[in-house]
Chains A and B, each alone.
Chain A
Amino acid sequence: MIRGRRRGIAPGAAAALALLVALSGCARRDTRTTLRFWGMGREGEVVSQLLGGFERENPDVRVVVQQIPWSAAHEKLLTAYVGRSTPDVSQLGNTWVPEFAALEAIEPLGHRLEQAPFGPGSFFRGIWDTNVIGGRVYGVPWYVDTRLIFYRKDLLARAGYDSIPPTWSGWLEAMRAVKREVGPDRYAIFLPLNEWNPPIILGMQAGSPLLVDDGTRAAFDDSSFRAGFDFYLDLFREKLAPPVTGNEIANVYQEFSRGYFAMWITGPWNLGEFRRRLPADQQDDWATSPMPGPRGAASGISMAGGSSLVMFRDSKHKREAWKLIEYLSRPEVQLEFWRLTGDLPGRVETWRDTALAADPKMHAFEEQLRRVEPLPKVPEMEQIAIRLQDWVERAVRGTVPPDRALASLSDEVDRMLEKRRWLRAHGRLDGSTP
């Protein structure tokens, strides 16, 4: 027995020794700094194709990309932070920036920005603003996202319009004209009840700050949000929009193609989807338009979305991490990124490139991106938006009167923000700790 066991150890030890030698051999050969990068969804899949250039310029740095599905990204980032295993650089949805700044998980960019080959002016103003929390910049916009109107040119033409009028009143008239044209079973606009963006955008256009007092109090029952909300509800009351959720419509592209609705407030990913999913002979029948506003084009704002590049506080390679962020922000790299993903680039210079400028459907996006505003920068915002969607749906379906829906929403949100009021009273809001 004993002899047998001894004999068993020898090969194992030899193997372990061999492994050790092999490992140390690797370590000796590869002295490069390893940067860990987390990318989400489609961006995570393609970002490694952009990194060849970076690694050629920085032979001493190796970038390891980890792909994370969007549905798990938030939880994964939070648990990584709690478990002290955050990456060096990550893509971060810009509505999440306030949360990770409040956690003190991400690094303010501070002095690094001063020597950067770009500044706030190199990006769309509203998008840049999403990265500024309490006066400090925490991220650099990577790609941008906003909501605007996709519409059927042919249906609008039949109703006597060649584009979407820039004021609310003109827009409403156009929707009524379309509705008269298409009849009772079809609609002018699609506002899915499981999306919170349209009511929030209309409220913001009407001048509502959504939250007040440093994001510690809800402002949903004040007159400005009410104005946007009434406009939104009227679209359902006048049967210009069908009171349905996205789930109740089996194939939204097919319905758009059939003319079930003529307008849809949605985002840039649908540029690609429309090209892919609508029949070839309908490709000239659709167009994009910036959001109308209550007082004309200038008030036709939309929300600033997209993803930023951030570096984490725990990173031991911040110098290299910043180099990577700088590299990914170069106009030519951004353009390549756009070609790979269809994501709209954050750098304004990129939009002057012929490929982007030549596409008429992009013009509306460029115009809209100059008029975007961030949502209130509080960690609770996503949760607030979901509560809003819930109450808005009840108001549209008529189970709760609009006044009570807004009052209840405000109550609920105020309760959610209690901790912020306490932090504010103790002067500890927005990283005011040293």
Chain B
Amino acid sequence: MSRTSERVQQRAAWGFLAPALILIGSFFFVPILAGLVMSFTDFDIYSIGRPDTIRFVGLSNYHQVLTSSEFWHAMRNTGFFVGVGGPLSVLTSLVAALLVNSKLARWKSFFRTVYFTPVVTTMVAVAIVWRYLLHTRYGLINAGLGALHLPAVDWLGDPHWAMPAIILLSVWKNFGYNMLIFIAGLQAIPEELYEAAELDGAGSVARFRHVTLPSLAPTFLFVGVMTMIGQFQIFAEPYVMTQGGPLRSTVTVVLLMYEQGFRWWRMGLATSMAFVLFAVTLVATAIQLRLQGGRR
């Protein structure tokens, strides 16, 4: 092959890539870059009408974010959500996948569809239904607790229970997606491995521990990382269910960012929060990769 034809090919490749690159560039990289620049300014309500009042303030937004008790409160709430909701969500997905994938299960595709339905349902519609479920006096969940002779819980009104309620809702809403990935992972495990283990006298628990779990490790890594990244950005659930209340117990970082940005129009501050959150997510992902990747 001559060099010119290679160059022609290269040019053709760029040509094919161009539409995607232009789209990604103008709708992804440019806004991110603009956001980064904005995070070093004091863009605020006064700046909308009079752009000449925008000042470059260096790192002072970052300083303000990192020293604000409100931000760390939101970070703690988010951390609680990720730390409790994440494992719970992955575990629920795994159990659901095992059930649906089980040889004993009938109507597999029916259950797969049912479990996946919440993922594709609108958050607002889900919120309305869940508000009924969580209602203190008429809710199904408290009725269940009552049947077990447990005291009723004021799910969305009590600062201690609001975040667990949001976690419950979020796990229910999202486990279907990870379930599908787990099912794919389970189906990729060669049947011979199980047969060999069975011949060696491994019971079902041993088979699960020594065949299923190790074979699923790459799936676990993927699901774990994606779930965590997604959960750090939790917004819609508290926004529609509690607006951050009661007592700011469900204010997450993105919700706080939204308030600062679109309610008070402190865009500079809000964008710097976004980059702090990005850094936190990056570090947490690296830690998770190290932990889970190291096991393999």
Contacts and interface: CB of A to CB of B under 8 A. Distances in A.
Contacts of A75: 262-263
Interface string A366-384: 0000000000000110010
A394 to B, nearest CB: 10
A78 B265 contact: yes
A297 to B, nearest CB: 36
Nearest to A104: B49
B124 to A, nearest CB: 13
A248 B157 contact: yes
A358 interface: no
Given A74-B263, A75-B262, A245 B45 contact: no
Given A75-B262, A75-B263, A422-B55, A102 B246 contact: no
Given A245-B247, A248-B157, A103 B53 contact: no
A136 interface: no
Nearest to A71: B243
B50 A104 contact: yes
Given A245-B247, A428-B53, A423 B264 contact: no
Q: Which 8 A-B pairs have the closest CB atoms?
A: A103-B49, A104-B49, A247-B157, A247-B246, A379-B45, A383-B264, A75-B262, A103-B48
Interface of B: 42, 44-46, 48-50, 53, 55, 64, 136, 157, 245-248, 262-265
A433 B46 CA distance: 12
Contacts of A415: 64
B49 A105 contact: yes
Interface string A246-274: 01101000000000000000000000000
Given A78-B265, A245-B246, A419-B42, A428 B55 contact: no
Nearest to B247: A245
A102 B263 contact: no
A102 B48 CA distance: 9
B244 to A, nearest CB: 11
A150 interface: no
A81 B64 contact: no
Contacts of A247: 157, 245-246
A194 B159 CA distance: 13
B292 to A, nearest CB: 39
A99 interface: yes
A102 B46 contact: yes
A81 B48 contact: yes
Contacts of B157: 247-248
A392 B77 CA distance: 22
Given A379-B46, A393-B247, 15 more contacts: A74-B263, A78-B48, A78-B262, A78-B265, A99-B45, A102-B45, A102-B46, A194-B245, A245-B246, A245-B247, A247-B246, A383-B264, A419-B46, A428-B53, A433-B50
A409 to B, nearest CB: 12
Contacts of A78: 48, 262, 265
Nearest to A383: B264
- Max chain A CB contacts within 10 Å: which of B46, B55, B262? B46
Nearest to B162: A247
A383 to B, nearest CB: 5
A250 to B, nearest CB: 7
A68 B50 CA distance: 27
Given A78-B265, A245-B246, A419 B48 contact: no
26 contacts: A74-B263, A75-B262, A78-B265, A99-B45, A102-B45, A103-B46, A103-B48, A103-B49, A105-B49, A194-B245, A245-B246, A245-B247, A247-B157, A247-B245, A250-B136, A379-B46, A380-B264, A383-B264, A390-B248, A415-B64, A419-B46, A419-B53, A422-B55, A428-B50, A428-B53, A433-B50
A247 B44 CA distance: 32
A428 B52 CA distance: 11
Interface string A43-81: 000000000000000000000000000000011001001
Interface string A23-55: 000000000000000000000000000000000
Contacts of B45: 99, 102-103, 379-380
A18 interface: no
Contacts of A357: none
Contacts of B264: 380, 383
A105 B50 CA distance: 11
Nearest to A415: B64
A245 B50 CA distance: 40
A138 to B, nearest CB: 14
A103 B55 CA distance: 17
A91 to B, nearest CB: 19
Interface string A404-424: 000000000001000100110
- Max chain B CB contacts within 10 Å: which of A415, A419, A428? A419
A393 B263 CA distance: 22
Contacts of B64: 415
A103 B64 CA distance: 25
Contacts of B49: 102-105
Contacts of A194: 245
B245 A419 contact: no
